[in-house]
Structure 1
């Protein structure tokens, strides 16, 4: 083989090793600071959660037909950020199994886990505070992606609404 080709190929392999090392170092730094990133994003998003969030079910009774009645909702709105495989039982009552376990962001900018227990006659939940680092451990990077996506979609809807209002005003004024 031509020495120039060998030299170039060797240099290419060295470059790939260097890039891999930089990638691993960068990934490590991102992982170390993932909690801080999520905490900052949550704090920055908090002011709009009240407008774009959902009323999350706290508890309800279930009729034989499956319909819910006497529903109670949490006072503040929340954004759903992720779902994970549920724990076997709730921390507040080990006799209650968890059917659904989700990560949410509340209006106050804090992260929570909502754990739902569903029986034939009742649905109730347990709301537990969640540190950003714990959110990453349990839900992965989906929480950041979902938070970004929620804001992006909300901004798009606001732009559409603003454009529709502008067209309406034009029509009224004309």
Structure 2
């Protein structure tokens, strides 16, 4: 029983130490989040073309909600966050914003995508977003999602390399026989 209590006390102590360290690190980072996000985006930019998606620019929606006559943005993007939408779009105040996202494009630039729908047509407006503004609106979620996108890509690449290695070894052993 003493071992359990000692282990539990050590766990509580470790959690407390981790919280103190987190507060200290957050204090050191305060005010520099935009700069960090900009550096992360610059480093990730060369990979966006490989891991990003072509996002919907506009399209028509049938009665079942299926999209047809879709047009997509030419460059790929990684979606980094979603926020409470603005009431209307800056390019057309008559269009209500249904969904609003932060994305990173292939040039390493942050953009904000605002989607509107009238029930038949879905279209979007995109505008540049500085890293400080991206952090201000989307917070740490943008950093986390960028990190996760790169980590998932790496995991997929590692699995592909391992599979290719296994295939090459199989072919080598087959030739020896």
Same fold (TM over 0.5): yes
Q: For 1:139 and 1:60, how far apart are their aligned partners in 2?
A: 26
- Alignment partner, residue 66 of structure 1: 65
Structure 2 gaps of 5+ residues are 1-18
2:169 is aligned with 1:166: no
- Alignment partner, residue 134 of structure 2: 135
Q: How big is the shift at 1:168? A: 1.1
1:55-75, Cα deviation, whole Å (9 max, x unpaired): 100000112222111100001
Q: For 2:171 and 2:165, how far apart are their aligned partners in 1?
A: 10
Q: How big is the shift at 1:31? A: 2.4
- Alignment partner, residue 42 of structure 1: 41
RMSD of aligned alpha carbons: 1.9
SS in 1 for 2:124: strand
Q: For 1:59 and 1:153, how far apart are their aligned partners in 2?
A: 28
- Alignment partner, residue 53 of structure 1: 52
SS in 2 for 1:32: coil
Q: How big is the shift at 1:166? A: 0.9
- Alignment partner, residue 94 of structure 1: 93
Q: For 1:125 and 1:29, how far apart are their aligned partners in 2?
A: 38
- Alignment partner, residue 27 of structure 1: 26
The aligned length equals 155
Q: How big is the shift at 1:28? A: 4.3
Q: Which has the larger radius of gyration?
A: 1
- Alignment partner, residue 155 of structure 1: 154
- Alignment partner, residue 108 of structure 1: 107
Q: For 2:92 and 2:30, how far apart are their aligned partners in 1?
A: 33
Q: For 1:171 and 1:135, how far apart are their aligned partners in 2?
A: 48
Q: For 1:28 and 1:171, how far apart are their aligned partners in 2?
A: 53
Q: For 1:40 and 1:135, how far apart are their aligned partners in 2?
A: 13
